Chain A
Amino acid sequence: MEINKDLVAASSTPIVLAILAEEDSYGYAILQRVRELSGGRMEWTDGMLYPVLHRLERLGHVEARWVVAESGRRRKYYRITSRGRAQLAEERRQWQAVDATLRGIWQALSPYVPAIHPASAAPLPQGA
């Protein structure tokens, strides 16, 4: 399933912050975690994660440090800051509101549209 670009962009901040709230991580591992969590439904273009991480770093939501990995390569690790946690809480509130609204409307729609095929339901949030 291809997810709309705007939706990917909007959700990237809470997803990355939430993954970093679990534990400190680096680019590749963050993408792996996104795949795992979405069951492969969210496919980000790998490179695009890095500008997002750098923006969060500039805003002070995450901190970065270089660590030498066991392979001998330098690797950039990111850690969420207290500002980042506050931002995550705020994003969470907003997404919950969006989620609740959509759930409400899906439920209201379902009796009238008896057989929603998953494939035909998918474009709905994109059109919204």
Chain B
Amino acid sequence: SLRLVQELEGHEDRAWGVAWRPCGGSSVLASCSGDKTVRIWEHASGSSPASATWACKAVLDSSHTRTVRQISWSPNGDMLASASFDATIGMWEYVGGDFSFIASFEGHENEVKSVAWNSAGTLMASCSRDKSVWIWEVLPGHEFECVSVLNGHTQDVKMLVWHPSLDILVSTSYDNTIKVWTEDGDGDDWHCAQTLGPPGRGHTSTVWSASFNATGDCLVTSSDDLTLIVWDTSADLTNSGSDDSAKWKHLTTISGYHDRTIFSVNWSRLNGFIASGAGDDCIRIFVESESQESAQEGSQSYELVHKHEKAHTADVNCVQWHPKDPRLLASAGDDGVVKIWELVGELPPALSATS
């Protein structure tokens, strides 16, 4: 089950997102809110991150004039980018335990909803209600240059996520589809390699979030249609042949578990657990089941291993596994609270099998 480690209070409006700093022992957590701020939380040095010693170390309140919708650390943990409804991306540098504001980047016409770094930290992507996805190149001296504006979605773009090792970008949208963007061989020329969605098997309402597994051969997406979908993303999309073998495919739909919109899904890179956060105030944890039955059918299935009711007293907007400790999970809710959870007790055998 999930044990509440600590409730982090301080945001004065709904908490939209959380992001663990990916390095330095991952003892730093950032959160963002409708109160226009980003809060930085740290646990006491020398203590376990699973102990209730987390405290607010900084409030970054000078960069945005409207809701901060999402935050994202650069892979080396030196920079924190924020996506805001004020149509800008904020950029903070984190050096020696202190944050300094670098710049805000303009270009989107209205609400920026997500920002994400590629695995090498050389590219950043942003998306907006203006339906576009922008790719920014990270240049020396904290310079960011927009190298591509990608149009293709017919409605707001909700969230971006990069492949864990390749320069492949995934965007999810209010238009019910997921788009996969890749770069042509000669650089700076990005295009939509595939659209996952109707017609065919896909989501039937807004796709709110997406997350790759550790190797990047599977992607899970969450939707307002109350389902999670797992996609087989092992096909090489740069293989330009248009035959079906070079396409990403629908693997399985996880339905019947969620009662309201699934705002967030996160696949642990450490043990294969999938956590979801939904508008029914619950956090759920799924794991791939290795039953004989599913193997015979030739399709994977996922089982619910834990459902935590009333994880927040309102919608759960974001869930995020800790990058180093496989038992830790952070969540953000409409109640304005950020929570840190520890997975305790007997874990299914799948955990050891996939770790």
Bound pair (A, B): no
Spell out A's residues near B (CB within 8 Å): none
